[in-house]
Structure 1
């Protein structure tokens, strides 16, 4: 039986992509890495791993709708079973994210601190625990059903950089675990409730 086909969307250095590439038991095949940023470091990581890589830049299109259509065409061409947003910093429409199962990794315990500045927001709020969430993506920002979470303590001397660094360490563990569970058919979604069966 063929392995599930995975597309990973990135915007930056691609450390979560690297965690997926390095996973010995992902259970699926990464068939494309795409970025909205041509100089994203993650594209080089994909090439080094022998994975096709491409960029679809918003500035090269007349509007956001045509940019997304171009991105969707690139993704559709490789017939994915799963799309993973791994540090992808553009908002996608409901049309896009409903075409394939799409998951995202976010540096907070959602629904707390959605948006692009979660570690900074957590520090400003003074919380004692933050963490990482892997969730299905819907048409709202950081809103889709939660698949898995992992807590990360906030230390008294934390900066945004140190807190985010420790959160990323957990992202690199949790995201491959969730993707592997999805590829193995162990994830069940009923409305907003998501369960993961034991391996």
Structure 2
């Protein structure tokens, strides 16, 4: 498969980019064959994931767009307008898959409508098909939606409210962390274990399932194309 035929992935990040690194290391291997990351977009200028992308071989193009600077430079703009601009950048890379890998901003309906090809930003051509969007979330389905899921899971375990933690890759819909789970993995919490120990083991699980989820969705895209 030539470089033009490789399936194209756009990754959205906000932080250190360890999950991004797992995808970088897997692209072009049996774990994530026939795929390449064509853009990494961050909403934080200092995110180390940008450096990871730029130091990859070959280097991966990067972009930066943060909500508050965008609103300040566009008087009268709204959060929804920001989401549209994110969609414009993402669609400009012509992705087959968008992966939210530690992206700390809840994307609204206008982003999802644009990726689905129903309501496109001005000047953006209609994608040939709806672009799937997946997210990595450090909790089991329906357990701890939203932010600080790791800490909330750990605290719930200490109180005897849950028996274990976990992580999942799911499809992104308008309800936060409620999309169809694609890959789910339990991560046990050991009695007396510090939060840092649980967190480290959970992150290692995340690195595995984000690759597995991306491969699963891309295989579905490939089949839908009739190839």
State the TM-score, normalizing by the size of structure 2: 0.78
Deviation at 1:47, TM superposition (A): 0.4
Partner of 1:164: 199
Residue matched to 1:12: 15
Written as runs of structure 1 = structure 2, the 5 A alignment for 1:36-115 is 36-49=43-56, 50-62=59-71, 63-98=78-113, 99=115, 100-115=131-146
**Distance change >3 Å, CA 121–CA 65, structure 1 → 2:** same
CA contact (8 A) 1:37 1:57 kept: yes
Tell me the equivalent position of 2:119.
none
User: 1:30 deviation in Å?
Assistant: 0.5
Question: Which string of whole-angstrom CA distances, capped at 9 and with x for unpartnered residues, describes residues 151-183 of structure 1?
Answer: 110111233322121111001011111211222
Give the TM-score normalised by the residue count of structure 1: 0.89
Mapped to 1, the partners of 2:194 and 2:177 lie a distance apart of: 23
CA distance in 2, matches of 1:77, 1:122: 37
- 1:122 offset after TM fit, Å? 1.2
| Cα 1:139–1:106 shift into 2, 3 Å | same
Answer yes or no: is the 8 Å Cα contact 1:107–1:164 preserved in 2: no
> What is the rounded CA distance, in whole Å, between the counterparts of 2:65 and 2:198 in structure 1?
31
The alpha-carbon deviation at position 66 of structure 1 amounts to: 2.5
Question: CA RMSD, aligned part only?
Answer: 1.7
> Structure 1: which 5+ runs fail to align?
189-199
Structure (1/2) with the larger strand percentage: 1
Stretch of structure 1 that moved more, 24-33 or 50-59: 24-33
What SS does structure 2 have at the residue aligned with 1:112? coil
The aligned counterpart of 1:177 is 212
Moved more, 167-176 or 65-74: 65-74
Question: Gaps spanning 5+ residues in structure 2: where?
Answer: 72-77, 116-130
Could you tell me how far apart the structure 1 residues matched to 2:25 and 2:148 are?
27
Tell me how far apart the structure 2 counterparts of residues 64 and 36 of structure 1 sit (CA, whole Å): 13
Q: CA deviation at 1:140?
A: 1.0
**What is the Cα deviation at residue 187 of structure 1?**
9.7
